[in-house]
A and B are shown apart, each in its own frame.
Chain A
Amino acid sequence: MKRFISFVTKEFHHIFRDKRTLIILFGIPFAQVLLFGFVITNELKNVKIAVWDKSNDEVTKQITDKITSSGFFTLEEIIYKKEDLERVFKAGKIREVIIFEENFAQKLKKEKIANIQLIADASDANSANMIINYTSGIIMNYTSSINREINLPMQIHVNERMLYNEELRDVYMFVPGIMAMILMLVSAMMTSISVAREKETGTMEVILVSPLNPIQILLGKVTPYIVLSFLNAVTIIALGYFVFGMPIMGNLSLLMAETMLFIILALSLGILISTAAPSQQVAMFISMFALMLPTILLSGFIFPIENMPLILQYISALMPPKYFIIILKNIMLKGTGLAYIWKETAILTFMTIVFIALSAKKFKVRL
């Protein structure tokens, strides 16, 4: 036990005396959460649009007002000719142009049909799609409001509700994702680097020729990072809760327990990497490419897994963060208990056991 404490103390010394380690451990998580929370957002806000109103009557003015007063759009320019159309898009500021056909109100009254053309800048496909959807939505609304007096023979009313994230806020999506990513990265990368460093500087050679056994060495390496990663997780949850209003509907202790499980999984993965990596650099590259990219791309953090090609779906099933993100979303947004996430929990536990067993087997007691 004394040996263990002494080993852990030594590890803490390593961590706190190395500025770079400290920055990676605490600076990066903080910066990431704030960055993702504030900067990277898919929500529409103040999209600049132009209107080419060939009719300029009461109805077109009403529709334009509806659109600009929605909060999603600001009217930047009014154009009058075809050449302007190309000019505004090329200038790049304007993302959408709304064109009303000539004699709009008249046509609507007489022929019961009038045309609006929406042209969006689709060089950013996702937001172009959203812009068009939002605009059409507003116009549809207007149409149904002027139809209210008239009784149509048959109507279907759609009532929609976005459950668990009523305002469709991105933060709800990002916080679990970032948490998975940071815990994976920090825990796995830092432990694999710190074991590899002992190999690189030759201290592993001295430690091996000592009564310390592999389990003592690895536990000693991992323990400080369990503590620090857990602090990290708490920081991220607190930031999400206090800064971005991310709710925690479920049981907080269950949330912490699941987080701990994921940390231990990430750490055992880090140990596994370090048994294969001879140097710090190799350890870092493996952690970066084998962990970070799949965590971002294949875990469902950013891209929905259901939309992936089948083969990628299978690969994503092997990604531990996928299950952790599901667990987080369930607990935080839906407030569900263990009964709904036991399957994911079991998978993570199983993966952890496999990683630990593999690293114990691969750890070399000789050079």
Chain B
Amino acid sequence: MSNSIEISSLTKVYDNTKALNDINLHIKKNELFGLIGPDGAGKTTLIRIIATLLLPDSGTITVENLDVVKDYKSLRKIYGYMPGRFSLYQDLTVIENLNFFATVFGTTVDENYDLIKDIYSQIEPFKNRRAGQLSGGMKQKLALSCALIHKPKVLLLDEPTTGVDAVSRKEFWEMLKNLQKNDITIFVSTPYMDEASLCDRIALIQKGKILSVETPENITKQFGKQLLQINSDNKYKVLKDLRNYEFTNSVNSFGQFLHYTDKRSVPEVQSIKNYLNEKGNSNINIKEIMPNIEDCFMDLMIEDKN
């Protein structure tokens, strides 16, 4: 399968800091590709450069064999773009927004109704409501409908699920999965690690650098260590104590649990327990678990620092 988006040695500099540092990515046709990273990692900058809205300082990007700098006019016809902020006309109704974007792209709502049916049917009951009065989840569905109305070849989504409730987020990703069947390459960025497992492949980005590009399964497989989940009566005391423990490789807080890796190749659960008991912690539970994307991300970040 040929590639849809080719990014090679891309660099973007803002005031002497490298917002993007030597990025190389190859995104296949019809792939659901996730760009995962914390706020300020460079996700929006990268998407905007792909979307022809910003110019790279060096490096090249071709999308569907078109150059993002030279051929921006042709590219803008085949893109569906959804910026991070809700960017539709708040004072127009749902159907007016949709009609507007359809005409702008030289099509009609009826013509491509099949493509947006699953998504749009959910907000259709509110089609005469002003877009500004929709809930966060509904706004995103409308924005996605508007971005899809002209059947784009490439869909660029910048943090589409930020500020959306958990149920709507899940629905949204299911929609993206469904869209793949329609011959669309989807490039989506998100700060939520749990969404990564739904992508075909993901790139982890941190401070403008790509840490790893893999399928979600392979990324967790790359995690070379045993991961322990620890909980107790006082999470913060345990966290503090473990940070001072001689064998600790990493310890991070995940909700009510701590995720822990050991410097030894095989961690000795009993000795960790003993150490924590000595320090006065009670009700300690230690269990081996499979690492998730976030664990991998943390791990890669530490490696990158070293």
The chain B residues found within 8 Å of chain A, CB to CB, are 48, 51-55, 72-73, 76-77, 79, 81-83, 85-92, 96, 99-101, 103-106, 146
**A201 contacts the other chain (CB 8 A):** yes
Please determine whether A205 and B87 come into contact, CB atoms closer than 8 angstroms.
yes
Distance from A367 Cβ to chain B, minimum over Cβ atoms (Å): 5
Residue of A2, A6, A209 near B52 (CB, 8 A) is A209
Residue numbers in B under 8 Å from A147 (CB-CB): none
Distance from B2 Cβ to chain A, minimum over Cβ atoms (Å): 23
Residue numbers in B under 8 Å from A13 (CB-CB): 89, 91-92, 96
Once A3-B103, A6-B103, A211-B77 are accepted as A-B contacts, the answer to whether A366 and B54 lie under 8 Å apart by CB is yes
**A109 contacts the other chain (CB 8 A):** no
**Bound Cα distance from A17 to B89, whole angstroms:** 12
Please determine whether A17 and B91 come into contact, CB atoms closer than 8 angstroms.
yes
Residue numbers in B under 8 Å from A207 (CB-CB): 104
Residue of B73, B77, B87, B103 near A206 (CB, 8 A) is B87
Q: List 26 A-B contacts (CB under 8 A).
A: A3-B103, A3-B104, A6-B99, A6-B100, A7-B100, A7-B104, A13-B89, A14-B91, A14-B92, A18-B91, A201-B89, A202-B83, A202-B85, A202-B87, A203-B87, A205-B87, A206-B87, A207-B104, A208-B53, A208-B76, A209-B76, A209-B81, A210-B104, A211-B77, A366-B55, A367-B48
**A212 contacts the other chain (CB 8 A):** yes
**Bound Cα distance from A206 to B89, whole angstroms:** 10
Once A202-B87, A206-B87 are accepted as A-B contacts, the answer to whether A211 and B76 lie under 8 Å apart by CB is yes
Please determine whether A366 and B53 come into contact, CB atoms closer than 8 angstroms.
yes
Please determine whether A14 and B89 come into contact, CB atoms closer than 8 angstroms.
yes
**A10 contacts the other chain (CB 8 A):** yes
Please determine whether A206 and B52 come into contact, CB atoms closer than 8 angstroms.
no
Distance from B150 Cβ to chain A, minimum over Cβ atoms (Å): 9
Residue numbers in A under 8 Å from B76 (CB-CB): 208-211
In the complex, which residue of chain A has the Cβ closest to the Cβ of B79? A209
**A365 contacts the other chain (CB 8 A):** yes
Once A10-B96, A367-B48 are accepted as A-B contacts, the answer to whether A206 and B88 lie under 8 Å apart by CB is yes
Distance from A101 Cβ to chain B, minimum over Cβ atoms (Å): 74
Distance from B5 Cβ to chain A, minimum over Cβ atoms (Å): 15
Once A10-B92, A17-B91, A367-B48 are accepted as A-B contacts, the answer to whether A205 and B53 lie under 8 Å apart by CB is yes
Contact bitstring A193-226, B, C-beta under 8 A = 1, else 0: 0000000011101111111110000000000000
Residue numbers in B under 8 Å from A365 (CB-CB): 72
**Bound Cα distance from A146 to B73, whole angstroms:** 88
Contact bitstring A228-257, B, C-beta under 8 A = 1, else 0: 000000000000000000000000000000
In the complex, which residue of chain A has the Cβ closest to the Cβ of B86? A202
Please determine whether A3 and B91 come into contact, CB atoms closer than 8 angstroms.
no
